[in-house]
Amino acid sequence: MDLDLKSRIYQAQSIGNIEPIEHMVPYPNLRSLIDGQNIKYGSKMVYADHDISSSEIYTLAQQTANWLASIGVNPNDRVLIKEMLFPRCEILAYGIWTLGASLVITGDNDLESASKKTNAKIVIIDENFINEIKNFSKIFEPTFKPLLEHEAMVFIENNEGYRYSNYNLLVNTNGLQQGVDLYDDQTFFIDLRANSMQWLILQVILPLYSGSSITRKNPDILFNDDNGDFIICSKWNKIKETKPPTLFICYENTGFISINNTPIHLTEIDKLNKPLSLSGHSVMMGYLDNKKNEKSFKDGSISIEK
């Protein structure tokens, strides 16, 4: 990627005079999110219905990172995982970030194509890993600590590849949390397949970032595709006001672009009802296809197609 394109992407990731700098989120990477929440909320349930606490997630992440290292995965490698039963993909994501590697998921259900497209170091398809990791140390000694701007994830959908940094994932989650007013003394419920960005933001990162618990039992907030307190919408032609409010998804903006007509924090769109371009801190690192990057990043924003 040439310097001019890198500069244009950075300009699109800025909003006004506010550049995507590290003090905007309290963690320097996703590994630190896992560590920090273990210190702050160790005994608190993250996935309450399954009795999985923050400290258990931390332990499983350490063991998974050690297991990944034992099978040849290094920091900065891309690790593609297939969709699995809960909580396998969640644990894999935490372990991959603990190691300092990059998570790859696909909504296309074509692992072979996704592996080639992303040049993945390894593809994990065996759900039995959940038993294998128990044989590994509960302490992982990192050899590499990613910065916020380093890649943390690649998502493949409709044969298109989207790259996201640690900062992208953290700041988009932060914007969503602010928009729905979710606090650490609350609970919420979400149950999504492990093949989308909404799964990644809502089901993997949000409970740790917010300090809240996911539970079916009388949740304070219910997220759903067609009912609940907030509706999740990935396919839309225009952004509009709905009741209950709709969380509109845009992969170029990492996960969520707006809640009804209100852009999430640190996101700016050119037209409220039918955005053609956007800018802000959630703007992705870019497509895997640099030719598309060249066409899309211009005039301080990224053009999007809906």
Encode pLDDT of 128-176 as tens digits: 999 999 999 999 999 999 999 999 999 999 999 999 999 999 999 999 9
Give the pLDDT band (50/70/90) at residue 278. Answer: very high
20 band by pLDDT with thresholds 50, 70 and 90: confident
Which range is least confidently modeled, 23-27, 61-65, 217-221? 23-27
Angle 41-224-306 (CA atoms, 0-180°, nearest 5)?
110
Rounded CA-CA distance 280/270 in Å is 12
The amino acid sitting at 135 is N
Pairing of strands 267-269, 277-280: antiparallel
* Domain limits for position 182: 3-303
List pLDDT tens digits, range 207-264: 999 999 999 999 999 999 888 999 999 999 999 999 999 999 999 999 999 999 999 9
Whether residue 306 is predicted with pLDDT greater than 80 in this model: the reply is no
Q: Return all residues near 256 (Cβ < 8 A) that are at least 6 apart.
A: 172, 175, 176, 179, 198, 201, 247, 248, 249, 250, 264, 282
Is the model more confident about 304 or about 64? 64
| Residue of higher predicted confidence among 273 and 150 | 150
Q: How many domains does the chain have?
A: 1
- Whether omega for the bond prior to residue 142 falls within 30 degrees of 0, making it cis, is no
The tokens for 183 are 């606090």
> How, if at all, do strands 78-81 and 102-106 pair?
parallel
DSSP string, 91-103: HHHHHHHHHT-EE
Whether 110 has a pLDDT exceeding 90, the answer reads: yes
Q: Which CATH number is 63's domain given?
A: 3.40.50.12780
The per-residue pLDDT for 16 is 84
pLDDT score of 3: 78
Q: Sign (positive/negative) of CA torsion 270, 276, 277, 282?
A: positive
Other CB atoms within a 10 A radius of the CB of residue 192 amount to 18
Give the whole-angstrom CA distance, residue 244 versus residue 255: 19
Measured over the CA atoms of residue 220, residue 226, residue 227 and residue 231, the dihedral's sign is: positive
